[in-house]
Structure 1
Amino acid sequence: MANQENNNNDNNNFFNQNPLITFAIFSVAVILLFKVMVGDGAAGGTQSAMSPTARVKSVDYSELKRLVKDKEVKKVEIGQTIIRAMSNDGSKIYTTRLVKGDNELVKMLDKEGIEYTGFSETNWFTDMFGWLFPFLLIIGIWMFFAGRMQKSMGGGLLGMGNSKKLISSEKPKTKFDDVAGVEEAKEEVQEIVDFLKYPGRYVEIGAKIPKGVLLVGSPGTGKTLLAKAVAGEAEVPFFSVSGSSFIEMFVGVGAARVRDLFEQAKKDAPSIIFIDEIDAIGKSRAAGGVMGGNDEREQTLNQLLAEMDGFGTDTPVIILAATNRPEILDQALLRPGRFDRQVLVDKPDFEGRVKILKVHVKDVKIDDDVDLEEVARLTAGLAGADLANIVNEAALLAGRKSQKTVKQKDMFEAVERALAGLAKKSRRINPKEKKIVAYHESGHALIAETTEGAKKVSKVSIVPRGLAALGYTLNKPEEDKFMMQKHELWAEVDTLLGGRAAEQVFIGEISTGAGNDLERATDIIKSMVQTYGMSDIAGLMVLEKSRQSFLGGGQQATREYSDKMAEEMDAFIKSSLDEHYKNVVARLEEYKEAIEEMVALLYKKENITGEEVREIILNFEKEHGLESKIVQETETIEDELKEDATMSSGDEK
């Protein structure tokens, strides 16, 4: 520790911190020394024959000429720039600057018979300086760039190794009350707070607190916020650093920074180390490069593993790390004794979204008509960061309209921006395309409302949004769902086919607008065959393994089935699409008048709500004496809720 303190003192001195000023001072000192040693008159020239004890006096050139003319000097030495003359008694030496192009002095010396000679103005010091100056210049430049590297890389040899300037050390004021929607994750990390506050309680009983906790979840779910809340609740120092900060072009720098990070944390214990995006250094070593993986990242990971093993059971330092790619982490990181516990910070459910929205609207002036529960229903599947962005977008919209408060319509518009993109009001589409889009979206809406298991319609619009969408239909689930049944998947397929079928039934010709719908419908049926075992083609056999990834769903592995199976699967997908397409076409022809009324309303308003869609369908069914599928679906949901409530009360008894 003493050596480390000495090194830190050396790094903090004025000259190391200001290499440019150091180089300037060094250069000025050398020049001044040169001037002093050489002097204007070079009186101490080694090749001069004049008395070294004589007093040197500087005179004008004209005065020197007068002295020569009056024969008051007995000897003159002429250099490249300096003229020196000794008085008759040898007690004085007169010096002056040589005037170039003047030959009168030499003539006067010849005329008066005064001895004169030449001399070299250099001496041993100037000769040596001429040889050393290039080396001194190189050393000065090296010192300058070394200082720059020290500033940019944070200390140590050439600035490497010291991580102080890469680490954010603070005592966060964030509390658990500021974190909403992740109640289970908060419960998991609560005991860490107790351990940091009262470590003796656990040490006395012999309990071993987890050394490391890995926070896993999709981007924007609040992993960093939760880590700060742990430090805020425990009121301990919080050392946060990004995983990519350990990686440099010089091998060994990352490992040195890891050592320095842990030294600082132990010095300020109890404390928390938080490594964000740990997958930058924690990637599996089994996927090393062609040189065996012995690179900077692997050395950094090895040092991290060694430091985590070096913690004693009574060391009040906790390591928190966050990642959204747990599947690529090295298994040595995840074993007990290092990251003992993995905490899933998942996307919030309905109740969680309501709580998150309440947190973010604390500092926003909202109107009395704002229903946060309705906003939460429309935002199923969104993370906390998305919800925060929606609230902020709504506030920006209200401010743009010079409103005093944020209204419900502003919240809905912000939700649409998040889900469908920015409205392209300036994009003008011709009447023919507008007609196609209106029938296309009406087809989606009607099939969604009349198919059991489909998501209910929230809004239908023919206003272009996003990059390429000329219209859109927003569907919201009746409740949070974490799995889908077979009939719900087929309902999703039917809803996707509704747009293309409406074009065929009402326009008489299909367009390119259904390309994405057909792609998604095909993928759903393919997954039913390959992964979910929902067909007679493969039975319960899984044809393709999927691996969960928080950065974009499942990552499909290589194909694990024969060509014959592929042919049968292709035939099944095609026949299933054809069969469901025919059923959708028949449904649309049955509800033809309802579609026409829906299209007319879309032409008039450009946007219609889910309630208006259901009202049109219900009126049509009443007029034609049809049994309402909407009512049946609603009753089914209510019956299921009643049944669940009955079962819950029975369990309590």
Structure 2
Amino acid sequence: MKTRYLKIAGLVALIIVVAGVAFFPFYWNPKKSSTQVIFSDFMDLVETGQIAGTVVFNEGTHTIYAHVTAGQHLRTIYSKEATGPLQELLKKKGIRFAIESGGGGSIWLSLLFNMLPFLLIIGLFVMMGRRSQMGGGGGPMSFGKSKAKLHDATKPKVTFADVAGEEEPKEELLEVIEFLKHPQKFQALHAKIPRGLLLVGPPGCGKTLLAKAVAGEASVPFFSLSGSEFVEVFVGVGASRVRDLFEQAKKNAPCLVFIDEIDAVGRHRGAGLGGGNDEREQTLNQLLVAMDGFEANSGIIVIAATNRPDILDPALLRPGRFDRRIIVDNPDSKGRKAILQVHLREIPVAPDVNVDVLAKQTPGFSGADLASVVNEGALLAARREKKMVNMVDFDEAVERVIAGPLRRSRALTPKEREMVAYHEAGHAILRKLIPHADPPHKVTIISRGMALGYVMGAPPEDRYTRTRSELLAEVSVAMGGRVAEDLVFGEITTGASNDFEQATNMVRRMVTNFGMSDKLGPVTLGRQGGPVFLGRDMIDSRNYSEEIAYQIDQEVRRLLDEAYQYAHRTIEANREKLNRVAKALIERETLYAEELDDVMAGKVVALEPSRPTASAGAEADIEAPTAATPDAPPVAPPATA
């Protein structure tokens, strides 16, 4: 209440100031404060040179305005006959004069002119007040209102039929739906449904879609907003919006409240540089009380989504608030097939489209990535004036999502083209020859995105763990491009920079995170995360000594050198295969897995137009990193390297 009175007092003070400014010119008028004299005395003052400035003749009121040298303002009434002699006298004395038109209505016009700013401001406040009362959201008192959007049962529903590839999260959410539909079954056993569910997963995996499906299946009101919509620059607005949101939810209970990207408001308290009493923390405090405070919010279930659960405040995750954490991960091969089938329902596809093959070509793709693949395929088919989308369109769409669009306009010199061909051939034959490495699906020297060329690996199946041998095999594969350049040309290029970056990062993780170093043993070595909002790297909380740091560097150096030598021996022993693959790439630009086998065996391969396709795990050979398998590390030959 105190805050409301302060706002009203401020508004009244503002109106008084504006009114004073508006009426000041009207009441302070030098003409109205002048002294009236008779015409003959005024003529005498002109004769004696006591008039200063400009003399004004007002024809409407027959009044002369002037002021004497001492500063006194004068006015006198003149007759029409006296105008001529007076003007002659003024000219003779060198005094300027002006004639202004005016009349009896000038006072009203002046009044209107002076009151116009005041009237405009009053009208503005009236308009804002009406908008605030009508719920337009634009009034000065509407800052504290929640911006949540209410989706009622009359709008088109999203159901679990629209969600594919996330069967386990759907099972977890079915319990919530059952409670919203039949609460008496749970109340009879005094069972309490979780008040909050936290959906955790990488971007694009379907967290928001799942929340919408829960509301659609339960047929209850659904409030949705993002965490950033709570916070404003005005102090106290965020907490006010939280209160307003839960008041609206109580009126519509049973209902669902969905907060997307809750980490924007639910971050760990007390970790900022500006102290603990900031607007975001006040908003979080109000959210904590609203979810589980003195007042019961029965019938309100809060669903939140984030891809940063590590930075959320512990009080937000305790039982009674977000009781359950539901992991929504990227789909496996079966899930990808189901997601593709959902997106393909509305698209005319040709008989040659094989959804099973397409699902196997997209390991690691999220639901959003798969939706993009289907859309890109349809766009490519429309660009080619097709009536249906073919498999070749989807193949190229996968590649576009991974590595970007084709760049045939990037012209390479013959020498550069040859070096790129040998570089990619080095990667390709190592994928074929090194045990435990993912076999190649495609090798090309056609520029795409930022890459001059790339080799795409094709994992035989989805994998969730990697062995030491597999990781070391991938590190050796990453060295293949530089080894081939050095062996053939005796010269090296900048094209292997991204290969080395991936290889170094993976080997360092093997040593410090995975415990895969024989010298350092099964131990985790690294920084212990400091306060997340001070920046983890600003506080040096390394849990090992400088001596151990030196040993880590030595071990990383040793493993990289051994991987390079392993790749060098393998390519040198298969130099003829390297030459065949490189020459075939120069001639054909692209080789697929079966063609690569024939070329390495020395068979004659018929020249065919290159066919666009794609997979995951591309090694892009450029100076800057490209879209290859993001967290799928380049890694490993046997420990004999």
Normalising by the residue count of structure 2, what TM-score does the alignment of the two structures yield?
0.73
Q: Work out whether 1:604 is the aligned partner of 2:581.
A: no
Alignment of 1:277-426 (within 5 A): 277-290=261-274, 292-310=275-293, 315-426=298-409
Deviates more, 1:361-370 or 1:592-601: 592-601
1:527 is paired with a residue whose SS is helix
Superposed CA RMSD in Å reads 3.7
Aligned partners of 2:131 and 2:139 also within 8 Å = no
For residue 567 of structure 1, the aligned residue among 539, 547, 550 is: 550
Counterpart CA distance in 1 for 2:136 and 2:143 is 6
Alignment of 1:50-61 (within 5 A): none
Q: 1:558 to 1:483 in 2, by over 3 A?
A: farther
Deviation readout 1:624-648 (Å, 9 max, x if unpaired): xxxxxxxxxxxxxxxxxxxxxxxxx
Q: 1:121 to 1:376 in 2, by over 3 A?
A: same
Q: Which residue of 2 aligns with 1:449?
A: 432
Q: Which residue of 1 aligns with 2:445?
A: 462
For residue 516 of structure 1, the aligned residue among 489, 492, 498 is: 498
Q: Work out whether 1:482 is the aligned partner of 2:478.
A: no
Counterpart CA distance in 2 for 1:438 and 1:148 is 71
Counterpart CA distance in 2 for 1:341 and 1:308 is 14
Counterpart CA distance in 2 for 1:222 and 1:470 is 33
Aligned partners of 1:208 and 1:313 also within 8 Å = no
1:355 is paired with a residue whose SS is helix
Counterpart CA distance in 2 for 1:442 and 1:451 is 14
Q: Which residue of 2 aligns with 1:158?
A: 141
Q: Which residue of 1 aligns with 2:60?
A: 81
For residue 176 of structure 1, the aligned residue among 138, 143, 160 is: 160
AA in 1 matched with 2:514:
Y
Aligned partners of 2:444 and 2:453 also within 8 Å = yes
Aligned partners of 2:60 and 2:104 also within 8 Å = no
Q: 1:452 to 1:101 in 2, by over 3 A?
A: farther
For residue 562 of structure 2, the aligned residue among 579, 584, 588 is: 579
Equivalent residues, number? 515
Q: Which residue of 1 aligns with 2:7?
A: none
Alignment of 1:138-149 (within 5 A): 139-140=121-122, 143=125
The alignment-based identity, stated in percent, is 47
Q: Work out whether 1:189 is the aligned partner of 2:173.
A: yes
Q: 1:425 to 1:131 in 2, by over 3 A?
A: closer
Deviation readout 1:413-452 (Å, 9 max, x if unpaired): 0111111111111110111111111111111111111112
1:594 is paired with a residue whose SS is helix
For residue 276 of structure 1, the aligned residue among 260, 278, 283 is: 260
Q: Which has the higher helix share?
A: 1
AA in 1 matched with 2:596:
V
Q: 1:437 to 1:136 in 2, by over 3 A?
A: same
Counterpart CA distance in 2 for 1:148 and 1:214 is 39
Deviation at residue 312 of structure 1 after TM alignment: 7.2
Deviation at residue 155 of structure 1 after TM alignment: 6.1
Q: Which residue of 2 aligns with 1:218?
A: 202
Deviates more, 1:223-232 or 1:597-606: 597-606
Aligned partners of 1:462 and 1:606 also within 8 Å = yes
Deviation at residue 160 of structure 1 after TM alignment: 1.8
Counterpart CA distance in 1 for 2:537 and 2:208 is 25
AA in 1 matched with 2:446:
V
Deviation at residue 148 of structure 1 after TM alignment: 11
AA in 1 matched with 2:277:
N
Aligned partners of 2:431 and 2:439 also within 8 Å = yes
Aligned partners of 1:497 and 1:581 also within 8 Å = yes
Deviation at residue 372 of structure 1 after TM alignment: 1.4
For residue 431 of structure 1, the aligned residue among 414, 418, 430 is: 414
Q: 1:555 to 1:226 in 2, by over 3 A?
A: farther
Counterpart CA distance in 1 for 2:349 and 2:138 is 50
Counterpart CA distance in 1 for 2:244 and 2:152 is 17
Q: 1:555 to 1:218 in 2, by over 3 A?
A: farther
State the structure with more CA Rg.
Answer: 1
2:591 is paired with a residue whose SS is strand
Aligned partners of 1:398 and 1:406 also within 8 Å = yes
Q: Which residue of 2 aligns with 1:60?
A: none
1:285 is paired with a residue whose SS is coil
AA in 2 matched with 1:233:
E
Deviation at residue 288 of structure 1 after TM alignment: 3.2
Deviation at residue 536 of structure 1 after TM alignment: 2.5
Q: Which residue of 1 aligns with 2:193?
A: 209
Q: Which residue of 2 aligns with 1:492?
A: 474
Aligned partners of 1:423 and 1:463 also within 8 Å = yes
Counterpart CA distance in 1 for 2:403 and 2:537 is 25
Counterpart CA distance in 2 for 1:206 and 1:575 is 63
Q: 1:149 to 1:496 in 2, by over 3 A?
A: farther
Deviation at residue 189 of structure 1 after TM alignment: 0.6
Aligned partners of 2:256 and 2:301 also within 8 Å = yes
Counterpart CA distance in 2 for 1:610 and 1:546 is 44
Counterpart CA distance in 1 for 2:294 and 2:595 is 64
Deviation at residue 455 of structure 1 after TM alignment: 1.1
Deviates more, 1:512-521 or 1:608-617: 608-617
Deviation at residue 158 of structure 1 after TM alignment: 3.2
2:406 is paired with a residue whose SS is coil
Q: Which runs of 5+ in 1 are unaligned?
A: 8-22, 35-77, 84-99, 108-119, 548-553, 621-653
AA in 2 matched with 1:560:
N
Q: 1:81 to 1:128 in 2, by over 3 A?
A: closer
Counterpart CA distance in 2 for 1:79 and 1:555 is 79
AA in 1 matched with 2:151:
S
Deviation at residue 104 of structure 1 after TM alignment: 4.8
Q: Work out whether 1:534 is the aligned partner of 2:516.
A: yes
AA in 2 matched with 1:450:
L
AA in 1 matched with 2:60:
T
Q: Which residue of 1 aligns with 2:609?
A: none
AA in 2 matched with 1:103:
K
Counterpart CA distance in 2 for 1:106 and 1:611 is 113
